Amino acid sequence: MNVTRLTRMGYFTATIMVLTSIAHAQSYDVAWTFGNVGSSSYRLDAFEPADSEFGTIGDRNPTLTLELGGRYHVKVTDYNTHPLEIIAKSSSPSQDQVLLSMAIQGPFESDPEVGWEDDGRGMVRFTLTQLLYEAMLTNGRNPGYRCRPHLFTMRGDFTVTGLPIAEKIGPSPIQIDLETIATGLTAPVDLRPDSLVPDRFYIVDQAGKIHVIHQGILQPEPFLDVTDRLVQPLGILGSFDVDDYDERGLLGFAIHPEFGDSSHPGYHKIYTYTSEPINGLADFTVNLSPDQINHQSVITEWQLAADGVNINPVSARVVLRIDQPQFNHNGGAMAFGPDGYLYIALGDGGGANDTSDGHGKEGNGQNINTVHGSILRIDPIVPTLTLDSRDLISENKAYRIPWDNPFVGIDGIDEIYAYGFRNPFRFSFEKLSGMLIAGDVGQGYVEEIDIVRKGLNYGWNIKEGDFLFDPEGLMIGQPFEDKRLADPVAQYDHDEGLSIIGGYMYYGTQVPELRARYVFGDFSRGFRTPDGRLLVADLLTGHIEELLIGNDTHNLNLYVKGIGQDNDGEIYVLASSALGPYGNTGVVMKIVGLSQN
């Protein structure tokens, strides 16, 4: 659980009962009882239940742990002398802002969901709502409390948990099961259906191979093996086994929409996104010396061999080469949109806060003069084969740039379609509308789902989700409104998981109740524990639920590595029990209806 310690000062005494019902019910989860030590401090006299994490009996002016969304019942023993106030606490008591005050008619905080109650005999109740929490942070202040007449001595702090989103992800009533399609993989991160052959899928394995599943059978030979092109060895923790971790590798795969049309230059062409050692000058770089570059992200075009089945291994043509300052936040998703252009997701380059070496003063996410932290849109066909196109020829003359990309002809990199992302690891196009939906991996607090539109700025590193991003972790949960920045359509915090794995809108027939809902995943609740989740979101309301599995509604108990979709709209889960791209526990499973047998 994320805990934000907003200040370390503290001494307290009064009686507080913590009620969890936001609807102001009489039940409570925790009761606190406080007395006082003269006029020098409040004193914690009792609390229940015993396993509550609220300090030690006898503590003076203790720091109290509150949870966003919790309802609190407070009784002060000597309330006539020491009435309690809930405040936005300043370093100077004279600058405190009073939000709720015992024995004064009505609260100062106007949010009706706070539900302030005062019986006039030392008992008050309130709910810690999002708006009340925001008020506690006014002008750099922090959540706290004090005695009204003894504000200089009887004052303390609140530590707030459940940030920044109070709402918990509950189970979905939709029942599903998983049908295993393939096993023995390493780290499957993407699934693409063959555009021409029914029941044929391509599985992208981060370790370097594209496998083929045909009629439900994993074929013995890979469709393409780029292992020798990758950074080697994969793994940044040094163990180079199932306990190691890496965000580099074979990350993306796209099939040209004209793959089956022999009259089109896209005939029998596919594209890969790989993490490779430095091999010459990049088309896009960062402000670092060559020896500081971690690796290069490379977009490569491949041609089917004469047999019409396998890839010609010598057909590789580099389309785009990008220097990466760190090992992580590479993005990696690639797909052709309904407009026929190739969309490529790039993270901010790695590190933390978008402030590491190679991220510049403003961060890569907000810099329209770097490709990092952006989704690009290009026509990857070599320009000599598209002489009738009005699209621009790229500087490296290896591809074209759509004439209507938002920064063509003005300041900014022409290839950028949208920017302000941290790590849009996976995105997809909705089958009916063609809208682009991306899951942007957050840093310490918020995972988000974005509807990506041309030219928009999605806010990183100014904000995380629709909350102000504070690299110091002191202002977590404070919304940030700026009409120049696009907000997510759904989001959840790290009480619920670690990294969003973007998915697809469901249009299959196996689980009709999922139709037109966005099915996606989260990597795991814990970095070292395979505890990934399958989730479903209503993108109109932003409401998220968890899809539990089987008649016993069990969890997945695997790391979620990717989500795929076939031509019929059915959705597949790609997962493994290994943390990184090692081992052979990778599986592909199809979401199906729950059997009642």
Domain ranges of the chain: 3-161, 170-593
Token pair recorded at residue 149:
């007449």
pLDDT digits (tens, 9 = 90+) for 472-493: 887 788 888 899 999 999 999 9
Q: Can you give 222-261 as a three-state secondary structure string?
A: CCEECHHHCCCCCCCCCCCCCCCCCCCCEEEEEECCCCCC
CATH number assigned to the domain with residue range 170-593, chosen from the 4 options 2.60.40.1170, 3.30.70.260, 2.120.10.30, 3.40.640.10: 2.120.10.30
Distance of CA 291 to CAs 62, 233, 287, 295, 356, Å?
A: 51, 18, 12, 10, 16
Position 222, amino acid:
P
Confidence of residue 10 (pLDDT cuts 50, 70, 90): very low
Cβ contact 128:66 at 8 Å? yes
Alpha-carbon span 488 to 352, nearest angstrom:
21
Residue 161 has a pLDDT of: 87
Alpha-carbon span 540 to 554, nearest angstrom:
28
Give the least confident one: 40-44, 68-72, 430-434.
Answer: 68-72
Three-state DSSP class for residue 130 = helix
Distance of CA 242 to CAs 237, 427, 530, 579, Å?
A: 11, 27, 12, 6
Cβ contact 555:171 at 8 Å? no
Token pair recorded at residue 499:
């990294």
Alpha-carbon span 252 to 328, nearest angstrom:
15
Give the least confident one: 21-30, 58-67, 387-396, 410-419.
Answer: 21-30
Cβ contact 455:406 at 8 Å? yes
Distance of CA 367 to CAs 373, 443, 455, 468, 513, Å?
A: 8, 18, 13, 18, 42
pLDDT at 23 over 60: no
Terminal Cα distance for the chain, rounded: 38
Q: How many CA atoms lie within 13 A of 582 on its CB side?
A: 18
Q: Which helix (H) or strand (E) holds 336?
A: strand 334-336
pTM score: 0.89
pLDDT digits (tens, 9 = 90+) for 503-549: 999 999 999 999 999 999 999 999 999 999 999 999 999 999 999 99
Residue 596 has a pLDDT of: 57
Neighbours of 486 (CB within 10 A): 19
Which residue did the predictor score with more confidence, 579 or 306? 579
Residue 19 has a pLDDT of: 35
What integer is the mean pLDDT of 96-106?
A: 87
pLDDT digits (tens, 9 = 90+) for 240-277: 998 999 999 999 999 999 999 999 999 999 999 999 99
pLDDT digits (tens, 9 = 90+) for 297-356: 999 999 999 888 889 999 999 999 999 999 999 999 999 999 999 999 999 999 999 999
Confidence of residue 106 (pLDDT cuts 50, 70, 90): low
User: Which of the 8 DSSP states describes residue 133?
Assistant: H
